[in-house]
Amino acid sequence: MREFWIVGLTLALLPACDRRPERARPAEETRMADERAAERDRERSRLEWRRFCSELGARRVAQERQDLRGSDWGQVPPFYCYHEARNTCVYSGGTMSPKGLMQLEVVDLMTNETLSSHLGQQGQRATAEERADRATYDKKRDELMTGCVLR
């Protein structure tokens, strides 16, 4: 009888002995989980900045259209985008008179700072100096727009 009692006690305690404490997550798993969470946060932030930039750009386009209403000047097709490396919203646009005078600018919409601008005649009426200034403006605009995340 005593042998049965020892065997019964052993069988009763055996499952409890088999329980192991939960293992701690290895440092590599923890690091990878933290990196995934950080990347999700960065992506969420990028999407929020892109949305905010889109709102700023749309407001700028609407304001320019409002300012030109009733004028014979036209709006140069605008372009705006979130520039991730600069962490800002870059806008390129301007106006043009019926006689070919163009006023172009690239603006940081978050600070309202003009990053590059050009004022001059277009086409055959442009002087050599105006053409050189336009080429400089175009190069600077392209540099500023490189790296943009489209609206």
Q: Which residue has the tokens 């049965």?
A: 4
Element (H, E) at 75: strand 74-83
Letter string b/e over residues 93-121, b meaning 16 or more CB atoms within 10 A of that residue's CB: bbbeeeeebbebbbbbbbeeeebbebebb
pLDDT exceeds cutoff 60 at 79? yes
Question: What share of the chain has pLDDT > 90, as a percent?
Answer: 51
Give the pLDDT mean for 4-18.
Answer: 55
Cα(7)–Cα(17) distance, rounded to whole angstroms?
Answer: 15
Establish how many alpha carbons lie within 13 A of residue 98's alpha carbon, considering only the half-sphere containing its beta carbon: 3
pLDDT of residue 26: 75
Q: Name the band, by pLDDT with cuts 50, 70 and 90, for residue 58.
A: very high
Q: What is the pLDDT of residue 90?
A: 94
pLDDT band for position 40 (50/70/90)? Answer: confident
Where do the structural domains in the chain lie, given as residue ranges?
27-150
Among residues 118, 113, 66, which one has the least CA distance to residue 96?
118
Per-residue pLDDT at 95 exceeds 90: yes
What token pair was written down for 128? Answer: 């050599």
58 close to 93: Cβ distance less than 8 angstroms? no
Q: According to the model, what pLDDT value does residue 13 have?
A: 56
